Amino acid sequence: MPAKTISHHIIICLLALFTLSHTSLAHAKTWFIERWGEDTIGPPSCGKKTTPCLTIQFVLDNLATKNDRLIVGPGKYVENIVIFGDPSNPLDGIRLESTAGRNGTIIETASDGADIITVYRSRVQIGRKGKGFTLKGNLTGGFGIFVPPGVDAFRLKIEGNRILDNYYGINVRGERSQVRGNIVINNWHESSGYGIACHTCDNALIQDNEVSGNNGSISGRGIYVQNSTRFSVLRNRVSDHDSAGIESTFSSSFGKIKDNFVAGGYSPMHLSDIDGARVQGNIVSEGEQFGVILTQSNHTRPPRITNNLVLDSASLGMYLQGLDGGRVERNTVVDSADTGFYIDSNIVDGPILNYNNSSLSGNNCGLENRSTTLALIHKKHFFSAGDAVCGPGEWDAGSTDSSRPSPLRVNRARAL
């Protein structure tokens, strides 16, 4: 077959695939909701710009189909929203946006204890930059946004919203989810609260959120990632949580935690089972006990902890446990009351510590090594106060130097 004919057939096939992939989007409709609207099925039904509907759930239950967009006008809407559909009309791809943004568009729970928005479908979008919502008022048992257990809300996107004064903030389940540019504050649980929780969220992105004061009578967490791999937590500002600002646990591995500002709590950053993680460029401040806790258990791939700044910890700046073969490099710990870097006794194959700096206000040491099973490799540390190294473990003689500063590659101005 001539090359020209083959190329022609390839072009036809590509065009056919493009057409098939965009057919559903081409048939998507836009529905308008306003406080002055009226819910009618018709004919004619509500939903046009000149004859809008009154409630969001009415549109989802009676009018919307896959990939439709719902545009909500300013004002307060008192309702609980479920994005589901039925087997004959699954509401995948629904996009929910406001015209007045989160400052002008409020969704308040109609039934305290019920989640404000519950998502059962994939590729759903709740808000976008400048077109989000305020979700509030669920004080006794519900979420602002919730994905139930067993649901894979694939590619869920939550952007530009404010979630406050609920039992919990946001709970996400689903691969490639995105939680971006939201304000999640003052969601209070009677026991253990959190702002943003991501369960089984492989390849998820949590970025540019402001998360503050999401607590409970026992504990509170700002951003909590569980049973997820290859997730990214980037450029968030997290503060005032009782337990941890950013916490990952239960085999949440190969994650990237970068350029966050985290302040307050027992340990502002608590990362466990962080095999393969990249923890870089974070500023961690005002830990009530620890600044950063880092643990590794599965040992499939060593983590890298680089270029972080830890400030004003009440006891230990950076607590390292089980980081076999990991690299802890170019981190700076300032004004920890007790110890800068603490290496736990259960280390088997020590991490490599290079070019770290610890400036202490307390009376202990810059690096405390409690591991006696194997000599650790740590060279060219620079400690400017306290004893350079202490503890029963081993270290390279002559590896410390108080006369030179450590390189610090953290963008303080952006994070602060």
Q: Among 2.40.160.40, 1.10.10.10, 3.90.400.10, 2.160.20.10, what is the CATH number of 79-415?
A: 2.160.20.10
pLDDT at 203 over 80: yes
pLDDT in tens, 148-202: 999 999 999 999 999 999 989 999 999 999 999 999 999 987 777 889 999 999 9
Domain positions in the chain: 79-415
Task: Work out the burial of residue 150: count CB atoms within 10 Å of its CB; fewer than 13 is exposed, 13-18 middle, 19 or more buried.
Answer: exposed
397: which residues sit within 8 A by CB, 6+ positions away? none
pLDDT at 409 over 50: no
Q: What is the dihedral of CA 50, 145, 94, 162, to 10 degrees?
A: 50
* Whole-number Å distance between alpha carbons of 261 and 246: 10
Question: Residues with Cβ < 8 Å from 391, sequence gap 6 or more?
Answer: 343, 365, 368, 369, 370
Per-residue model confidence as pLDDT tens digits over 291-333:
999 887 666 788 889 999 999 998 999 998 877 777 888 899 9
Asked if 122 and 92 count as a contact pair (C-beta separation under 8 A), the reply is yes
Q: Which two tokens stand for residue 14?
A: 């590509």
Residue pair 129/98 in contact (Cβ under 8 Å)? The answer is: no
pLDDT tens digit string along 62-72?
A: 999 999 999 99
* pLDDT tens sequence across 209-265: 999 999 877 778 999 999 898 999 999 999 999 999 999 886 677 889 999 999 999
Residue 354 has pLDDT above 80, yes or no: no
What is the H or E stretch that residue 20 is in?
helix 3-26
* pLDDT band with cut points at 50, 70 and 90 for residue 20: very low
Q: How confident is the model at residue 22 (pLDDT cuts 50, 70, 90)?
A: very low
* Highest mean pLDDT pick, 27-31, 280-284, 396-400: 280-284
Average pLDDT for the chain: 83
pLDDT band at 401 (very low <50, low <70, confident <90, very high): very low
